[in-house]
Structure 1
Amino acid sequence: MAGCGVGGLIVGGALASWGVTSQSIAAGRVEIRSTPTKMIVTDRARCSGCQRCEMMCTLKNDGRVSRHTARVRVGDNYNWGAGPGTGEGTFGEGDGACEFTLEHCKQCDDPACMNYCPVHAISCDENTGARVVDGGACIGCGMCSQACPWNMPRVDYETGTSTKCVACGRCAEQCPNGAIEFVDWEDIAQKVIDSGAVRTVTLVRHA
């Protein structure tokens, strides 16, 4: 996939089945984030603000429902949209009212949360590519949350440690409107092959 880029995948139609088009991205409706193993597609036009993603995320990761520690969040933008004065959210005015914006960890290449952690409790998971918190090392200082431009890590006051997205995909599985997709790179690669953009000639496996 190296060198192809997301733009090339869109032009080739490989991402169309996940609702990704150049027009949807240009309009700000669809956002794409990539990790070493996943492409995360969020479609704001499909989000109804039900917050089921928050509930299911915390049920799986914390064993309880907690909007505060949810790794994917709608509530932050529920009232104001992307920010006060934008005309979005339930308090907005005009055409932008009740347009909900889903927020999730961007799994940054150079994550501020990891860089500013004083005890180096955040690292990159080799299997998922997600930046994850080591609960045994975390001291709950909240520096990761303050450093993140999107305020995505949150300190769980019941455990005294920070929490953030581990790319488990539970939010996508339980979204009733299909507003979130965690797509394996293998699936995207197969789409590219099927479209004829790339062909496989030889598969070599090293022992």
Structure 2
Amino acid sequence: MSGNSEFDIMPPSKRVVLNTEACGGCLTCELVCSGRHFDGECHKNLSAIRIDADMLDYSFSLSVCRQCKSASCVAACRLGAMKFDENTNARYIDKEKCVNCGLCVKACPFANEKMSPIKRVMFHGKPKVIKCDLCRGYEGGPLCVAICPKAALSVQ
């Protein structure tokens, strides 16, 4: 896209990052994320943040939305359900408009990674698209950052 579309002028957003040296692999971040976004239901498959834990090497990696400046997920959404928050600039899904079609998932350049930062899951028998929204609307910022017992997560 070119010109002065909303897609071209989206403001940059911060994102959740992992200090791999500090992470202990407890996965508390995954549980608190799913609980916040799925009415208290805590399950790693419902989390917008994923930690890949290799316990043989005791190493950890993070999969979370990168909050791309030229967010292809936003451009792919035909219903305007992918938006950016005016306070944090985080890209988020307007649940009132989203029909969970998955076009945003297909458009994400990182969706084919081992752990996709945006995905379509089944929740109580219905499809649901999930991605990190930096805990939009929660005054304290992302819960995963606040709850991490090793302070391994931050917003940068």
Q: Which residue of 2 aligns with 1:153?
A: 118
TM-score, length-scaled by structure 1: 0.57
TM-score by length of 2: 0.74
Residue 176 of structure 1 deviates from its aligned partner by 0.9
The 2-side partners of 1:175 and 1:143 are apart by: 32
Give the letter aligned to residue 47 of structure 2.
A
Find the residue that maps to 2:18 and give its secondary structure. Answer: strand
28, 31, 43: which is aligned to 1:52? 28
Q: 1:65 aligns with which of 31, 36, 42?
A: 42
Aligned to 1:170: 143
Alignment of 1:1-207 (within 5 A): 35=13, 38=14, 40-62=16-38, 63-74=40-51, 77-78=52-53, 89-90=54-55, 97-150=57-110, 151-158=116-123, 159-168=126-135, 169-182=142-155
The change in CA–CA distance for 1:39 and 1:60 in structure 2 (over 3 A counts) is closer
Name the CA distance, whole Å, in 2 between partners of 1:41 and 1:152: 13
Report which of the two has the higher share of strand.
Answer: 2
Shift of 1:39: 6.2
List alignment gaps of at least 5 residues for structure 2. Answer: 1-11, 111-115, 136-141
- Counterparts in 2 of 1:39 and 1:166: CA distance versus 1, 3 Å: closer
Quick one: percent identity of the two aligned structures? 30
- Contact 1:122 1:132 (8 Å CA) reproduced: yes
Shift of 1:40: 4.1
In 2: Cα distance, 1:175 partner to 1:132 partner: 22
d(CA) in 1 for partners of 2:95, 2:121: 11
Give the structure 1 partner of residue 4 of structure 2. Answer: none
Distance 1:120 1:152 in 2: 20
Q: Which runs of 5+ in 1 are unaligned?
A: 1-33, 79-88, 184-207
Between the two structures, name the one with larger relative contact order (CA 8 Å, sep ≥ 6): 2
Q: Which has the higher helix share?
A: 1
Q: Distance in 1 between matches of 2:59 and 2:133?
A: 26
8 Å CA contact 1:135–1:162 kept in 2: the answer is no
Amino acid at match of 2:153: I
Deviation track 1:14-69 (CA, whole Å, cap 9, x = no partner) reads xxxxxxxxxxxxxxxxxxxx62xx56442111112211100011111212112122
Q: Residue by residue, what CA displacement relative to the aligned partner does 1:80-121 show, whole Å, maximum 9, x if unpaired? A: xxxxxxxxx24x6xxxx2311122211110112112223221
Residues 107 and 131, structure 1, Cα contact 8 Å, conserved in 2: yes
